[in-house]
Amino acid sequence: MAAKSIGNPGLSGKIDVRPVASLADQIEARSGDYLHHCLKTIPSAERHSIWSRLYAASQSLGQAVRENTVAETVLEIGSNLLGCEEIAILELHTDYRQISFLSSVGVTATHRHALLTHAERLSAEINRGQVRIVDKRVPGDEFLASLGITALVPLSQGHSAEGAIVFFNLLPQRQGFDSGDRELLGLLSVYVGPSLFGL
């Protein structure tokens, strides 16, 4: 299923591009801040790599908002900047009992089935509104871990939870999500919801 289209058809039927430009401008301004921080940090510092990934992600996301390719770009960021090629972008139904797949890559039939079967409980987890890096040893993470989820990024528009980005297995070279990844997931949490559901 395709992601929601961007742009609000007005009375004239034309697409109002102003919200798109405004959101893209915000994201690109953020990207400029990340670049500034990156250039002020020595390359051998761990933060340098984090800043440079945040810069690339936000710059790419800003362009994606203008080009209406946000869902594809989220999957690309997941693969290239997070090392995960098993990702689903979900939309919550208004009754919070069902979910739909807006876009996905590499998600197995087993994982897909698990998400659909446990949609109501998963919706409740998404409604907590917190970026989660899942650790099955941590109390409260058992349910998400049982679905094979390694990270959960809630997507909201205004105060309403609209969906989530769900990450499954990481590539073999990644041992797990780290603190830098958490910042990147946070960036996605802030901007992807309004990009997919608010325009």
Q: How far is the CB of 184 from another protein (least distance, A)?
A: 9
- Count, residues near another protein per rule CB under 8 A: 29
Here the tokens at position 3 are: 């992601």
Strands (E), the chain: 8-9, 15-16, 87-92, 99-105, 132-133, 151-157, 160-167
Q: Which is nearer to another protein, 118 or 174 (CB)?
A: 174
Per-residue binder mask for another protein (CB under 8 A), 46-85, x = binder:
--xx--xx-xxx-xx--x---------x--xx-xxxxx-x
**Dist. CA 126–CA 119, nearest whole Å:** 10
Region 171-190 residues binding another protein, contact defined as CB under 8 A? 171-174
Q: Is 44 in the site for another protein (CB under 8 A)?
A: yes
What number of other Cβ atoms are within 10 A of residue 63's Cβ? 16
Q: In 3-state terms, the chain is what percent helix, strand and coil (to 5)?
A: 50, 20, 30
Give the interface with another protein as residue ranges (CB under 8 A). 35, 38-39, 43-45, 48-49, 52-53, 55-57, 59-60, 63, 73, 76-77, 79-83, 85, 171-174
